[in-house]
Structure 1
Amino acid sequence: MIEHIVIFKFNDQTTEDQKKEAITQLKSLKQEIPGIIDIQAGVNFSDRSQGFELGLTVRFEDKQSLENYGPHEKHQEVVSYLKEIGLSDIVVVDFEI
């Protein structure tokens, strides 16, 4: 299995409602993209966050499922929404479990 972790930073104009909608859209990918075992997303409450506001974890069946996820149409739609609402930075970590 593969664990995919992403943390997101947004600009000052991004609203709390937009962040909540981003979480909803991210979580919906489980029903849309084959190979996802589990997906979780939420607002970061850590005071050590360095400005990163949302977190995402996606567990995939295998590396091929992760590779298929990136270019998938539904994933790209969510990426477009994140950019539209003010995504300013991300950090991504992928590892095998």
Structure 2
Amino acid sequence: MFTHVVLFKLSEPTKENVKYVSDILKGMKGNIPQIKEVEVGIDELKSERSFNICLITRFDSLEEMKAYQVHPYHVNEVLAKIKPFIEVSKVADYSI
């Protein structure tokens, strides 16, 4: 199992923007066959160190994750739509 974790800090983290971005991320489930699990969490503490949204996706392998990254739905329906809202993102990738 390969896990891909992305933390997103929005440039304008209004409730509406956070919901919009998180809904788009949740929409990947069922639209990208390589994804085995999708979890999207919204930060509750809102501390100085906090990121607004956490995305956790799981795949059968690193190769499946690489295929997801270039999948047309991911590129056109996710990245293209959320990129204008993102100030910074951080990633952690690991196998278990």
> TM-score of the superposition, structure 2-length normalised?
0.87
**How many angstroms does 1:9 deviate by?**
0.6
Report Cα offsets for 1:30-65 as digits up to 9, x if no partner.
211112111010211245562411011001111111
User: What 5-or-longer segments of structure 1 have no aligned partner?
Assistant: none
Cα distance between partner residues in 1 of 2:38 and 2:3: 10
Aligned to 1:50: 49
Change (3 A) 1:92 1:49: farther
Give 4+ residue runs of structure 1 displaced > 2 Å after superposition. 46-49
Residues 1-97 of structure 1 mapped to structure 2, 5 A cutoff: 1-12=1-12, 14-46=13-45, 50-76=49-75, 77-84=77-84, 86-97=85-96
Tell me the SS of whatever aligns to 1:4: strand
Cα distance between partner residues in 2 of 1:49 and 1:31: 34
| Identity of matched residues, % | 28
Aligned residues: 95
Cα RMSD of the aligned pairs, angstroms, is 1.6
User: What 5-or-longer segments of structure 2 have no aligned partner?
Assistant: none
